[in-house]
């Protein structure tokens, strides 16, 4: 079972499509928790970003057969990284993605809502894969391929390659 935890500002269209795609990929039940506010103490005013590691710890851990995924619409950083698209707790059965840098308009391009929803699905499946103990995959079409840029994200699909697929227990 996957529990989606929307933080404030995340649109319903993104959540609805995310639920459908996660159900398709994992073949498991996907539920929503109620929307929560961004915890102010995870905000770093000097950077104008939220601390992804701190934010991840505010999510309740999933139970044995459950994964918890937070969906954020704020810019996130993590320890040595200037920004991140998502973060997973490899032992805690919880993960986080952010939509902010998945938007074309973040880069001064014309908005593309369907591309945003597709990118969000890829990031979500990728981070949930990490909570299953999967590492990065060398196959550039596999969802577990490491996205250094959005070009990498757009090139890969939102499914696991056959080799990664066998390691998923959800
Ligand atoms: Zn990764
Ligand atoms: Zn793979």
List, for residues 41-93, the tens digit of each pLDDT value. Answer: 999 999 999 999 999 999 998 888 899 999 999 999 998 889 999 999 977 89
Ligand nearest to the CA of 153: 1
> Choosing from 17, 123, 127, 132, which is the catalytic residue?
127
Using a CB cutoff of 5 Å, list residues around ligand 2, an ion.
Answer: 137, 139, 142, 144, 161, 164
CA 130 – ligand 2 centroid, Å:
12
CA 136 – ligand 1 centroid, Å:
6
Phi and psi based region of residue 168 (left: phi greater than 0; alpha: psi -120 to 50; beta: remaining) = beta
Q: Of 81, 79, 85, give the one whose Cα is nearest residue 53.
A: 79
Ligand nearest to the CA of 152: 1
What is the structure's pLDDT at 169?
76
CA 144 – ligand 1 centroid, Å:
6
Instruction: Enter the tokens of residue 111.
Output: 């908005």
| Mean pLDDT confidence for 8-12 | 94
What is the structure's pLDDT at 39?
96
What is the structure's pLDDT at 124?
98
Ligand nearest to the CA of 136: 1
CA 50 – ligand 2 centroid, Å:
30
Half-sphere exposure of 141 (CA within 13 A, CB side): 3
Active site residue 61: no
Cα–Cα distance for residue pair 55/34, rounded to 1 Å: 16
Cα–Cα distance for residue pair 125/123, rounded to 1 Å: 6
The alpha carbon torsion through 160, 166, 167, 170 (nearest 10 deg) reads: 80
What is the structure's pLDDT at 148?
87
SS (H, E, C) 114-138: HHHHHHHHHHHHHHHHHHCCCCCCC
């Amino acid at each position: 079972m996957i529990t989606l935890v929307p933080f404030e500002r995340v649109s319903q269209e993104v959540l609805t499509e995310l639920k459908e795609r996660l159900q398709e990929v994992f073949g498991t039940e996907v539920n929503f928790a109620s929307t929560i506010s961004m915890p102010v103490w995870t905000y770093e005013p000097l950077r104008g970003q939220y601390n992804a590691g701190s934010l991840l710890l505010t999510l309740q851990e999933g139970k044995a057969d459950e994964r918890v995924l937070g969906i954020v619409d704020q810019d996130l950083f993590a320890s040595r990284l200037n920004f991140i698209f998502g973060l997973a707790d490899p032992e805690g059965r919880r993960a986080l993605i952010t939509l902010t840098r998945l938007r074309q308009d973040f880069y001064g391009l014309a908005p593309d809502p369907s591309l945003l929803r597709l990118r969000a699905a890829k990031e979500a499946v990728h981070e949930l894969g990490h909570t299953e103990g999967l590492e990065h995959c060398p196959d550039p079409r596999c969802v577990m391929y490491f996205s250094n840029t959005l070009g990498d994200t757009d090139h890969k699909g939102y499914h696991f390659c056959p080799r990664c697929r066998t390691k998923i227990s959800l």
